[in-house]
C-alpha cells in the first residue's frame, strides 16, 4: 500500500529526514517511536503533503501512485489521514460543518452523491458512539478551547468519519487520560480492517498494549535505525534510547 524509499526531506535548508525506508501493507499496524526532534512528525507531514517541507530525494509510492505528485487534498481523498500532534483551531467552524465539507468533497472525488443531512447525521451518531464523543463538542468551533484530550479524541472521531485507508496517528495518545486512551484505542481497533493500515507515532509503550503493532520502528536523527516487533517497544521503555544512539554513533 505504502512504500517509502530513501526519503530525504528538509525545511529551510535543514535536512530532517535523511533516508527513510519503510513499507506498509494492507492490514498492518506500524509503530514509530523515537526521541524528541528525531523527525517523526516531519515524516507524517511529508506523507500528508505539507508544503513547508521540501523532499530532496527519494520516492513514495501509495496505491501504485507517486504520492509526492499529489496535492494534500488529493492524498486525503485517496484515503490518507493524519491525526495531528497539535490540531489547529478554526474559529467559527464547527466540527460538524467542517466534516460535512470534507466528506462531501471526498465523496465527490469518488464519484458519489453528497450526503444528505439525514444520512450524514446517522453516520455522525454511529461514529460518535465509537469514540464516545459528546455532541456538544462537535457543535463547538473546531478545537477552539478544547482540552488537550478533547482535541485528540476529536481527531480520532474525524478519522472514524472519513474512513481512511492509511491512518497516521501522531502522538494521539499524549494528553489522554487512562480511560480516554482505552476508548480511543478501542475506536482505532474497531476501525481496523484487512484493507487499511495504521501508522502510530508514540512515545509510550502503553498505547501499544491496546493497539498492537505488527512492527515497531525507531526513528533517530532522520533515519529508521532499528525495526522489530512489539517487544522492541518494551525494550525501549526499559532502556530508553541511549543504547540505540550509542549503537548508531558507533
Ligand X SMILES: Nc1ncnc2c1ncn2[C@@H]1O[C@H](COP(=O)(O)OP(=O)(O)OP(=O)(O)O)[C@@H](O)[C@H]1O
147-166 positions binding another protein, by CB under 8 A: 158, 162
Q: Which residue has the cell 500528508?
A: 48
> Closer CB to another protein, residue 46 or residue 181?
46
**Contact between 55 and ligand X per CB under 6 A:** no
**Contact between 41 and Mg ion per CB under 5 A:** yes
**Contact between 117 and another protein per CB under 8 A:** no
Neighbours of 195 (CB within 10 A): 10
CB of 40 to Mg ion, least distance (A): 5
**Contact between 175 and another protein per CB under 8 A:** no
C-alpha cell at 127: 461514529
Q: Which does 60 bind (CB under 5 to 8 A by kind): Mg ion, ligand X, another protein, none?
A: none
Number of amino acids touching another protein (CB under 8 A)? 33
Laid out side by side, the sheet with 14-24 consists of 14-24, 2-11, 54-62, 65-66
**Contact between 87 and ligand X per CB under 6 A:** no
**Contact between 42 and ligand X per CB under 6 A:** yes
Candidates 34, 39, 87, 213: give the one binding another protein (CB under 8 A): 87
Q: Candidates 8-16, 79-87, 139-147, 159-167: pick the segment binding Mg ion (CB under 5 A).
A: 79-87
Q: Which does 105 bind (CB under 5 to 8 A by kind): Mg ion, ligand X, another protein, none?
A: another protein
Residues sharing a CB contact under 8 Å with residue 201, sequence separation 6 or more, in sequence order: 31, 32, 33, 40, 41, 44, 85, 168, 169, 170, 171
Sites of contact with Mg ion (CB under 5 A):
40-41, 85
Amino acid at each position: 500500500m505504502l512504500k517509502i524509499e530513501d526519503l530525504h526531506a528538509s525545511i529551510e535548508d535543514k535536512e530532517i529526514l535523511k533516508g527513510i525506508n519503510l513499507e506498509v501493507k494492507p492490514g498492518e499496524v506500524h509503530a514509530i517511536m523515537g526521541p524528541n526532534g528525531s523527525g517523526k512528525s516531519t515524516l507524517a507531514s511529508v506523507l500528508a503533503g505539507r508544503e513547508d517541507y521540501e523532499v530532496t530525494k527519494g520516492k513514495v509510492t501509495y496505491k501504485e501512485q507517486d504520492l509526492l505528485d499529489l496535492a494534500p487534498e488529493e492524498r486525503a481523498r485517496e484515503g490518507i489521514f493524519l491525526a495531528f500532534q497539535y490540531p489547529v483551531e478554526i474559529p467559527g467552524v464547527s466540527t460538524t460543518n467542517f466534516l460535512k465539507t470534507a466528506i462531501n468533497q471526498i465523496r465527490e472525488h469518488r464519484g458519489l452523491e453528497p450526503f444528505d443531512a439525514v444520512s450524514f447525521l446517522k453516520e455522525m451518531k454511529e461514529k460518535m458512539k465509537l469514540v464516545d464523543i459528546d455532541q456538544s463538542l462537535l457543535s463547538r468551533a473546531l478545537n477552539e478551547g478544547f482540552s488537550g484530550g478533547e482535541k485528540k479524541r476529536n481527531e480520532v472521531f474525524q478519522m472514524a468519519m472519513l474512513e481512511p485507508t492509511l491512518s497516521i496517528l501522531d502522538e494521539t495518545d499524549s494528553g489522554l487520560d487512562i480511560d480516554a486512551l482505552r476508548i480511543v484505542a478501542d475506536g482505532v481497533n474497531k476501525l481496523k480492517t484487512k484493507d487499511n493500515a495504521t501508522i502510530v507515532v508514540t512515545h509510550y509503550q502503553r498505547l501499544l498494549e491496546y493497539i498492537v503493532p505488527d512492527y515497531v520502528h525507531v526513528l533517530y536523527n532522520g533515519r529508521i535505525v532499528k525495526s522489530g516487533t512489539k517487544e522492541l517497544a518494551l525494550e525501549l521503555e526499559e532502556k530508553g534510547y541511549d543504547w540505540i544512539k550509542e549503537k548508531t554513533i558507533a
